Amino acid sequence: MVSEPRSAAANRSVEVLASKLRRRQIVGSRATALETLLVLRQVIAKARFSNLEQLVAIIRDVGRRLVDAQPKEHSVGNTVRKVLHHIREEFHAATRGVEVPKPASFSISKFVLQGQPRKQVAVQKSEAKGTLRENDPDDPDSFARGLKPVLMEAIQDVLDELETVYDNVSKNAKDHIHSDNLGYSHDYASEIILTLGMSKTVEQFLKAAAHVRNYSVIVAETAPSYNGREMAKSLSSSGISTFLVPDSSIFALMSRVNKVILGAHVILANGGMFAVSGSLMAATAARAHSTPVVVCAGQFKLTPLWNLYHEYGALDFGNPSDVLGFENGDLVDKVDVVNPYYDYVQPELIDAYITNELLKETYDDEDNEL
């Protein structure tokens, strides 16, 4: 049996992922980011290149194919941009033979990522690497052999970051949620939080705060998916005072809410975001009642792209029968039913984003368009 060429195997893995993205067999920002990163690691491991430009061209080609397969999953393009950033960073460190200098100024990402031991590995993997030569006529593969090991370590760092993104985002949750400080009994929480849908990031954020804070959560059930029921069950099982309410109650209850905490599908360059349907209603009600809106999201959801068709261009639609079934035959014939997955929430409706790393420290400007 003839073994499959290495480049053909890598190309096949790209096509498999592209097919899964087109068929929506992989959904969700974190799941698509993880799958994209695993494919890129395989592509780099099996690629042949003799200079940096060839490697960047290979990664960009893979990125374009995956983004074209599912343009609405922005975390795919974000992951490709982050890998390209690491490729350039490791190349410059290896060719100079020194660690890439880090800015001495304070940054949010430094504050959030303090204490992670993997960040200290960079010095060992980058030092004593000043012998890399591009386009070596005597040994064309020497450049790839020298660069691939440090690239594999860099990609592993990104994988570790994705694996721990919930912990990193929720690390300072206690600073954003406050306990009873008004002299009431411990049975009463001074802060009431409203959220909706099932967001793993928000779930871990609220659970982390519950270790040191006493508060209540109102969860909108988020029809027609009713994912809010899963969120309410999870929070309640962790000992958090939780109330499940229909979406139609959000505006009526907002006057009692101290803070709205939402998840995000993607955060755009203008500060707006796409989030689960119902987020726009909650944010608009919060603005009417002067209630702060906080969004919890991992860095991989932040994109440097602008969308000129915010209200419609990146929306994804589900099965309309989930909203109005065919058993209502007489009514179905008289109306057009849409079931959008996401709302676009304007930046002026959002007060703060909580994430685990700064965008400018992760992407390069030349990769805004893959």
d(CA 26, CA 256): 38
**Amino acid 315: pLDDT:** 61
pLDDT at 35 over 50: yes
In a domain, 159, yes or no: yes
User: What is the share, in percent, of the chain residues with pLDDT greater than 90?
Assistant: 42
Same domain for 79 and 219: no
Query: pTM score, two decimals?
Result: 0.79
pLDDT at 188 over 60: no
Q: Which of 170, 194, 222 is the last residue of a domain?
A: 170
pLDDT at 202 over 90: yes
Query: Do residues 147 and 90 touch, judged by C-beta distance below 8 A?
Result: yes
Q: What domain range includes position 69?
A: 4-97+133-170
The model's confidence at residue 242, banded by pLDDT at 50, 70 and 90, is very high
Same domain for 359 and 247: yes
In a domain, 250, yes or no: yes
Same domain for 228 and 137: no
Same domain for 194 and 46: no
Query: Total domain count for the chain?
Result: 2
Same domain for 337 and 190: yes
**Amino acid 117: pLDDT:** 43
The model's confidence at residue 131, banded by pLDDT at 50, 70 and 90, is low
The one-letter amino acid code at 202 reads V
Count Cβ neighbours within 10 Å for each residue of 150-168 and write b for 16 or more, e otherwise.
bbebbbebbeebbebbbeb
Q: Which of 118, 148, 170 is the last residue of a domain?
A: 170
Same domain for 221 and 148: no
How high does pLDDT run on average in the chain? 81
Q: Count of CB atoms within 10 A of residue 49's CB?
A: 19
Same domain for 241 and 262: yes
- The token pair at 96 is 């100079």
Condensed to tens digits (0 to 9), the pLDDT of residues 264-292 reads 999 998 889 999 999 999 999 999 999 99
pLDDT at 101 over 50: no
Q: Count of CB atoms within 10 A of residue 188's CB?
A: 11
**Amino acid 157: pLDDT:** 87
CATH number at residue 60: 1.20.120.420
**Mean pLDDT on 144-173:** 88
Condensed to tens digits (0 to 9), the pLDDT of residues 136-154 reads 777 777 888 888 898 898 8
Query: Do residues 292 and 352 touch, judged by C-beta distance below 8 A?
Result: yes
pLDDT at 169 over 60: yes
**Mean pLDDT on 309-326:** 71
Condensed to tens digits (0 to 9), the pLDDT of residues 318-345 reads 788 888 877 777 787 788 888 888 888 9
Q: Which residues pair with 220 in a beta bridge?
A: 196, 245
pLDDT at 109 over 50: no
Q: H or E segment at 266?
A: strand 266-267
Classified as helix, coil or strand, 88 is helix
Same domain for 143 and 201: no
Task: Collect all residues with Cβ–Cβ distance below 8 Å to 151 and sequence separation of at least 6.
Answer: 44, 86, 87, 90
Same domain for 255 and 162: no
